[in-house]
């Protein structure tokens, strides 16, 4: 029995699409988009168009592609 090499890709693993949720710290309006390099949870991205408070990344997660 051989063990897989650490860091080697698992051919059985499902491909995930990674998403980032941006959220205003005041009005809590969420926005879902695809993950970009440099995204970090709690990173401040700019100002909310509605209330002019900070928009921050609140969640980063992966989803399996939908089967049609």
Domain ranges of the chain: 17-63
Q: What average pLDDT does the segment 3-9 reach?
A: 64
Higher pLDDT, 54 or 10: 54
In the chain, what percentage of residues exceed pLDDT 90? 69
Q: What is the pLDDT of residues 15-43, one digit of tens each?
A: 899 999 999 999 999 999 999 999 999 99
Record the tokens describing residue 20, joined without a space: 């980032």
Q: Answer whether residue 14 shows pLDDT above 90.
A: no
Paired residues of 47 in beta bridges: 54
Element (H, E) at 18: strand 17-24
Coil, strand or helix: which one is 61? strand
Contacts of residue 61, Cβ cutoff 8 Å, sequence gap at least 6: 18, 19, 21
């Amino acid at each position: 029995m051989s063990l897989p090499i650490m860091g080697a890709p698992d051919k059985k693993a499902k491909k995930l699409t990674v998403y980032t949720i941006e959220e205003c710290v005041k009005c809590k309006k969420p926005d879902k988009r695809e993950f970009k390099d440099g995204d970090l949870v709690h990173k401040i991205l700019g100002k909310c168009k509605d209330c002019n408070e900070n928009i921050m990344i609140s969640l980063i997660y992966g989803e399996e592609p939908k089967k049609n």
